[in-house]
Amino acid sequence: MQGRTQPAGAPGARKARFVTAGAAQSRLQPAADGKLPGLQLEQDKPAEKPKEKTEGSSIHPLVLFCALCLSLLVSITMVLVDVEGPQTNRNREQLEARWTIEREYFSHLDPNQSLAPYQLLLREAQRAHTRGDRETEQNAYRDVLRLLRAERDRFAGLTGSPSNDRKLEQLITTILQE
C-alpha cells in the first residue's frame, strides 16, 4: 500500500507539523512614541512653496465696477430696444389680418347654415396656412378677391355690406403682400 495515506489515528501514521523559519529582522525602527513611521511618497513632498499672489495681479475694483455697469447697461438695452426688422412687423400685420378674417367672417357663424362660397374659400385659406401650404392659401385668397371685385349689387356686396367688402379686401391684400 504505497502512496496511500493512513487515517490519523492509525498506527504508523505520520503527523503534520508546522516548521517556522527564523524571525526576520525589520529595518523599520519604532519612533519614540512606539509607533512605526508612516509612508511618504517622494512626489508628495513639496519641491518649492507656491508663490504668493502679488498685489499687481489682482483687478482693480474700479475696473470691476465699470464692467458690471457696462454689462447691466447692455442687458437693459437689449430688453428695451426693438431689434426686430420690418419683416417681423409685416408678419405681425399678416397674423392680425388672418385673425380678424377668422373672427369676423366665418368663425362665429351658425353651424346649421350653409356657408357662402367666399366663407368656404376663407376657411380653406386658413387651413392651408395652418398646414404651411402657402400656394393653396394664396390661391384661395385670390379667389375671394375675384369674388369681391366681380360685378354685383353695389348695395349688398359679397359679405352683406360694401364696407365689409372693402375691409375684407384690405385684409386679404395685407396677407398676400410679400
Number of separate domains in the chain: 1
- Convert the pLDDT of each residue in 98-111 to its tens digit: 999 888 887 766 67
Note the pLDDT of residue 29: 77
Q: Is residue 110 part of a domain?
A: no
Q: Is residue 154 part of a domain?
A: yes
Interacting residues of 139 by C-beta distance below 8 A, sequence separation 6+: none
Q: Which structural domain, as residue segments, surrounds residue 170?
A: 115-178
Is the pLDDT at 150 greater than 90? The verdict is: no
pLDDT confidence bin for 10, thresholds 50/70/90 = low
Q: Is residue 72 part of a domain?
A: no
Is the pLDDT at 5 greater than 60? The verdict is: no
Helices marked H in the chain — which ranges?
A: 61-80, 86-101, 117-131, 134-149, 162-176
- Determine the Cα–Cα distance for residues 76 and 18; give it in Å rounded to an integer: 88
Residue 97: closest CA among 26, 169, 28? 169
